[in-house]
Chains A and B, each alone.
Chain A
Amino acid sequence: MTSDKPLLEVVDLRVSLNRGVDVVRGVSFNVHAKKVVSIVGESGSGKSMTVRAVMGLPPPLASLSGSIKLNGEELVGASERRLRRLRGSKIGMIFQDPMTALNPVIRVGDLIAEAVRLHNPRMSAKQAMQRAIELLETVAVPQPDVRVRQYSHEFSGGMRQRVMIAMAIANNPDVLIADEPTTALDVTVQAQIIEVLSNLRQMFPVGLVLITHDLGIVAGVADTVVVMYAGKVVETGPVRAIFRGSRHPYTRGLLSCLPSIEQKAGKLVPIPGNPPSLSARPSGCPFRPRCPMARDICSTEEPELRTVDDIETACHFAEELRTFDTSAFQTTAGSA
C-alpha cells in the first residue's frame, strides 16, 4: 500500500434504482497513481453499477449516496456540467464489448479526435487528428495514419479495443476504468490488451480500475483486489494476500473455479447455485444459501468488513478460514 493520497476515493457508495432496488450497498475503495485495482465478482454483483456511478453515468432515475472523490473533488452531487468536464479528461472508461462501443457511422480517427477536442476546444481539427494518430501509435495499432480514416467495422476485435483505449486516454486521465475489457475478445488477444493497459502506467501516472471475471488477469496485473457480491464488497486486500490466504468462502470459491496445472482434471469446482436476485436478497449474509460454512448466525446478521491479517473481509468465520479446505464445496455441490 502506498501512503500518498489516492487519486480516486470511493467511500460507502450506494446506488438504488428507481424501483427501490439497491444495486450497490456501501462500496469503498481507493485508487492510487500507477496502481491497478481489480474489482471481481459475478454478473449482477454491482461492479458495473459502481463504475458507472464513478463515471457520473448511472442509469436514469438512479439515486446515489456516499462519496466519490477524484483528486479530492467530490463527484456525488456535482453538476452535470462539471462531471462532463471531468469525463474523458480526468477519468476515462473502456467498455466490455468493443464491437458495440464504437460508433459505426463515424470514422475511428474522428471518434478519437473528438475525445481530444472536447477538452481542448482551441485545438484545430488537424492537430486533433495528428494527436489521434499518435494515440493509435501508443496503443500499438499498425499504420495509424491509414487506420484513422477507417470505420470500426474494418477493425478486428482486439484492434477495436485498442481504439477504445486510445479514445479513453486521449487526455491522459488520472483514472482509467476498464469494464471487463477482455471478456469479448479471443484469448490470444486478451493478453495483448492487458499488456497495453498495464503499460499505460509507464507513460503517465494513471490509476487503473479493472473489472474482470478473469482471476488469471487479476493475479497478473492487479495490486489490490476488491471482491464484490450482491452489491457489497465482501473482501478486499493486496493481491498476494487474497490469492494466498483469502478469508472469505466466496473468494475461496472463485479461486477454486480457476483451473491450475497442479490440480488434476475434474477437480475444477464450481460454486453451487446462482447469485441472489436484486429484489429477493436473502436475510443475513447474502452468500449464505451458497456457502458451505453457513451457520445460524449467517441468516440473521449480515457480516461487515473487518480486518483480519492483511485483508479486509466480511465473513463471520474469517478466522476459521485459515484452515478451510475449498473441497468442501464439492460436498454441497450435489445438494444445491
Chain B
Amino acid sequence: MLTYIIRRLLAMPFLLLGVASLAFCLSHLTQADPLAALVSERQMNNPEVIAAAKERWGLDKSLPEQFVIYVTNLVSGDLGVSFRTRRPVLTDISERLPATLELVIAAMIVGTSSGILLGIVAARFRDKPIDYLARFFALFGSTIPVFWSGLLLLYILSVQFSLIPGPGRFDPRGQPPPFVTGMYTVDALIAGDFRGFLTALHYLVLPAFVLGWSVTGILARLVRASMLDVLGQDYILAARAKGAGERRTLFRHALPNAMIPTLTIIGYSFAYLITGAVLTESVFAWPGIGSYAVDSARTLDYPAIIGVSLVGASAFLLSNLVTDVTYAFANPRIKLS
C-alpha cells in the first residue's frame, strides 16, 4: 500500500511536466498576441517600446528557447511572472487557491452529506412522495446553472431578507484573520477569533450551498440508484433473515456497498470544482483560482494559464490517488500493488 502511494507520488512530477508542456504548446497555438496585455494601445506602434517589452518578457526568443527556459524555471519552482498582474504566478496562485479550497471544501461537505442522505432516503422510500421530492431537489441541483440560482438566492436572502451578507469573503469593514492557511474560517479558528470565524462562515454559507447543490444533485441520484441495486442483493435478505432491523440493514449492510461506486464521483467532483467553480466565484465575488484562470485566459497571460493548468492537474492527480486509496479501503476485494 505505502509503496503504491509513493510510486504514484513519484510519477506525479513527470505527469505535471507533461501537462505544463501541453499547456505551453496550446497557449502558443492561438493567434492572439500577448503584447496586447503588456503594452498599452497607444504604444503598440512604437517599435522601441515593443522591442523592449519583448526583451523584458523573453518574447524575442524562439519558441523552443522560451520553452526550455520555462521548463528550467519550473523545475526550480518558478512559475514565471504574470503579464497581467506583473507578480509571480506562484504568489498569485498561493493567494487565490486557499479561497477556492475553502469554498470547494465547504461545498463538498454540503454536497456529499446532503447528496448521500437524500439518496438513501429516496432509495428507502422508493416511489413514495418523499422519493419524488428528493429526486426533484436533486434534479434541480444538477440542472440549474449556478449563475441563476446564485443570483436568485443572493437576491432573496441578502437583498430582500438580509439573512446573508452580500458577495465577498469577509466584512469589508473588518480585518480578515492573520494568514496561516489562507482559508478565513480556519485561520480565524487558529487565531482564536470566534467572531471572525462566524463572519467568515456567514459569507461562506451561500456560495458553498450553491456550489454544493450541483454535487448534491449528482450524488443523490447516484446513491439512490446504487442503493436500490444493493438493496436487491441476497446479502440484504440474508441480513434481514438473521434478525437485523431496518436501520442496521440500511446503514451497516447496504450503504458501505453502495458507497463504493460513489467514491469515484466524489473524488472527481472535488478536483473538477477546484478549477470549475468559476461561475460561483464570479457571482459571489469570491477571489478564487477559477476567476483568476478566466482573467488570465482572456488576456493570453501564458505563465498564469500554465500555472492554473498545473493547479488543476495536481488537483486531479491527488484526488485520483486519494480516491484509489479510499476505494481499496472501502472494497476489500481490491488490493493496491
Residues on A facing B (Cβ under 8 Å): 55, 57, 84-89, 92-93, 95-97, 100-106, 114-115, 118-119, 151, 153, 164, 167-168, 170
Contact = CB atoms under 8 A, between A and B. Distances in A.
B240 to A, nearest CB: 6
A167 B238 contact: yes
Given A57-B237, A103-B235, A167-B238, A84 B257 contact: no
B12 interface: no
Given A84-B243, A85-B243, A114-B244, A101 B257 contact: no
B56 interface: no
Contacts of A97: 234
Given A100-B233, A103-B235, A106-B253, A88 B333 contact: no
B331 interface: yes
A105 B330 contact: yes
Contacts of A55: 241
B240 A87 contact: yes
Nearest to A154: B332
B234 A95 contact: yes
A48 B272 CA distance: 48
A119 B241 CA distance: 12
A93 B235 CA distance: 12
Contacts of A102: 235, 238
A104 B238 contact: no
Of B234, B241, B252, chain A has the most CB atoms within 10 Å of the CB of: B241
Contacts of B257: 103-105
Nearest to B332: A151
B242 A118 contact: yes
Interface string B237-277: 11111111100000011001100100000000000000000
15 contacts: A57-B240, A88-B244, A97-B234, A100-B234, A101-B234, A101-B235, A103-B238, A103-B239, A104-B257, A104-B332, A105-B332, A106-B253, A118-B242, A118-B244, A167-B242
Contacts of A118: 242-244
Nearest to B256: A105
Of B234, B237, B331, chain A has the most CB atoms within 10 Å of the CB of: B234
Nearest to A86: B243
Nearest to A119: B243
Interface in B212-229: none
Given A85-B243, A115-B242, 13 more contacts: A84-B245, A87-B242, A88-B241, A88-B244, A95-B241, A100-B234, A100-B235, A101-B237, A103-B235, A103-B238, A118-B244, A151-B332, A164-B238
A57 B241 contact: yes
Contacts of A101: 234-235, 237-238
Considering the complex of A and B, which 9 residue pairs feature the smallest CB-CB distances, nearest first?
A88-B243, A88-B242, A101-B234, A100-B234, A115-B242, A93-B241, A103-B235, A87-B243, A151-B332
Contacts of B239: 103
Nearest to A164: B238
A22 to B, nearest CB: 22
Given A57-B237, A95-B237, A103 B242 contact: no
Nearest to B329: A105
Given A89-B243, A114-B244, A105 B331 contact: yes
Contacts of B252: 106
Contact of B242 (A105, A153, A168): A168
Nearest to B245: A84
Nearest to B260: A105
Contacts of A153: 332-333
Nearest to A104: B333
Nearest to B259: A105
A307 B333 CA distance: 54
A92 B240 CA distance: 10
Contacts of B237: 57, 95, 101
Nearest to A110: B252
Given A100-B233, A104-B333, A170 B238 contact: no
A112 to B, nearest CB: 9
A209 to B, nearest CB: 13
A87 B332 CA distance: 28
Contacts of B245: 84
Contacts of B260: 105
